[in-house]
């Protein structure tokens, strides 16, 4: 199977019904989160998220949706919860647990999926449909594009005005989003107004994916790569450069569908991303592989070399570090499967 032969399409109605946690986080709950005893903020975050989810079912009835100024709901606390911390501290686990604990109807998606939803349905229709939910959980809240910043800020204002609770994760505090990427005062004002809608919960700690684990496995040769692809049913195998070109032809919101049903991904001839655009697409691709717990076996350069030193020192540093962390975990899974 070649991922480059796949061209997934997602209908507008399916975009709404697909707003649920990915397979890796389908069964997580607060009870399955194991706080690091050396990091008290982790146990505190479990309590904060649980209390937030518990508030959603109570209080006054939700306000009926009215676009452009429906008034603000008056819950016992902020309408938004923001989980801030480094990569690998379990923020997505906590976000998904919050979603599972909250009453239905509810929606869960990545920031990229949310912006794609608005593009597919139109702003008014997207707000109307999302306003029917009691909570919207947004993972990987990012500001890669100034237009997306303004769009999502406006969207969340309308949803919280309509009585929808919002929980989100990112690697940066709400009032610091965009730092190191944009300098426009207009966007900073938008970000500041959005940050006021959230209570911020800090989650500290080292990357749990690599605590006490050995170094990542080295790449394999091409013959071993091809033998593994033949051995594991449902595997895909692609030349890295061809896959990079294919990813450029798809909206990132379709990357999950691209790898649905794939048991193991094999990449031939991995090397450093040639530019920032390719790097960010690979970050989104790595996130979707991790969501679905799909092992990754590769030849060429180590996956840890996927992003150049210049990229790792730039404004998207945290994204690239998260991607390397997740790909390293998936490479370990592949090494175990190969054995």
Average pLDDT in the chain? 83
Whether residue 2 lies inside any domain: the answer is no
Do 171 and 41 reside in the same domain of the chain? yes
Segments forming the whole domain that contains residue 225: 208-338
User: For 41-86, how does the pLDDT look when each residue is reduced to its tens digit (9 = 90+)?
Assistant: 999 999 999 999 999 975 444 554 444 344 444 446 788 998 887 7
Find the mean pLDDT for residues 310-329.
Answer: 84
Residue 211 has pLDDT above 90, yes or no: no
10 pLDDT exceeds 70?
Answer: yes
Rounded mean pLDDT of 261-284? 93
One domain for residues 136 and 279: no
Q: Is 170's pLDDT higher than 90? A: no
Residue 233 within any structural domain of the chain:
yes
* Across 80-84, 135-139, 236-240, 280-284, least confident range: 80-84
Check pLDDT > 70 for residue 110: yes
Q: Is the pLDDT assigned to residue 23 strictly greater than 90?
A: no
Determine the angle formed by the axes of helices 146-161 and 111-121, rounding to 10 degrees.
80
Q: For residue 160, give the nearest of 83, 66, 84 by alpha carbon.
A: 66
What integer pLDDT is reported at residue 258 of this predicted model?
94
The residues, any chain, with a CB within 8 Å of residue 246's CB and separated by 6 or more, are: 3, 4, 238
In a domain, 132, yes or no: yes
Q: Which of 32-46, 184-198, 271-285, 291-305 has the lowest mean pLDDT?
A: 184-198
Residue with more model confidence, 171 or 6: 6
* Dist CA 324 CA 8 (whole Å): 26
pTM score:
0.74
Q: Which of 1-5, 89-93, 195-199, 253-257 has the lowest mean pLDDT?
A: 195-199
Q: Are residues 24 and 173 in the same domain?
A: yes
CB atoms within 10 A of CB 302: 17
Does residue 1 lie within any of the structural domains? no
Please state, for a pLDDT cut of 70, what percent of the chain lies above it: 82
Is the pLDDT score of 196 beyond 90?
no
258 and 120 within one domain: no
End-of-domain residue from the set 143, 173, 202: 202
Residue 137 sits in the same domain as residue 212: no
Can you tell me the distance from the alpha carbon of 335 to that of 329, in angstroms, rounded to the nearest whole number? 10
Neighbouring CB atoms inside 10 A of 68's CB total 10
Kindly state whether residue 4 falls inside one of the protein's structural domains. no
The winner for highest mean pLDDT among 14-23, 98-107, 115-124, 302-311 is 98-107
35 lies in a domain? yes
């Amino acid at each position: 199977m070649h991922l480059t032969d796949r061209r997934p399409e997602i209908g507008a109605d399916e975009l709404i019904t697909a707003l649920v946690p990915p397979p890796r986080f389908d069964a997580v709950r607060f009870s399955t989160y194991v706080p690091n005893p050396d990091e008290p903020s982790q146990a505190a975050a479990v309590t904060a998220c649980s209390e937030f989810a518990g508030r959603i079912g109570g209080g006054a009835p939700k306000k009926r949706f009215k676009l452009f100024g429906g008034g603000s709901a008056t819950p016992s606390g902020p309408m938004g919860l923001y989980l801030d911390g480094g990569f690998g501290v379990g923020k997505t686990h906590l976000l998904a647990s919050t979603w599972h604990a909250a009453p239905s109807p509810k929606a869960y998606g990545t920031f990229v999926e949310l912006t794609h939803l608005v593009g597919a349905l139109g702003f008014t229709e997207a707000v109307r449909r999302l306003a029917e939910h009691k909570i919207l959980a947004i993972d990987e809240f990012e500001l890669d594009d100034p237009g997306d910043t303004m769009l999502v800020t406006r969207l969340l204002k309308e949803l919280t005005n309509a009585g929808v609770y919002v929980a989100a994760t990112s690697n940066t505090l709400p009032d610091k989003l965009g730092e190191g990427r944009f300098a426009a005062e207009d966007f900073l004002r938008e970000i500041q107004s959005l940050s006021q809608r959230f209570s911020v919960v800090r989650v500290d700690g080292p990357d749990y994916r690599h605590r006490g684990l050995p170094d990542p496995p080295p790449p394999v040769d091409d013959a071993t790569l091809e033998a593994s692809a033949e051995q594991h049913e449902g595997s895909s195998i692609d030349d890295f450069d061809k896959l990079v070109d294919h990813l450029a032809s798809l909206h990132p919101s379709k990357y999950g569908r691209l790898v649905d049903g794939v048991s193991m991904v094999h990449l031939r001839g991995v090397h450093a991303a040639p530019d920032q655009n390719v790097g960010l697409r690979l970050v989104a691709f790595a996130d979707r592989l991790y969501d679905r717990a799909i092992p990754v076996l590769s030849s060429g350069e180590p996956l840890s070399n996927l992003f150049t030193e210049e990229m790792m020192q730039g404004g998207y540093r945290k994204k690239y570090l998260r991607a390397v962390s997740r790909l390293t975990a998936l490479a370990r899974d592949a090494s175990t499967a190969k054995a």
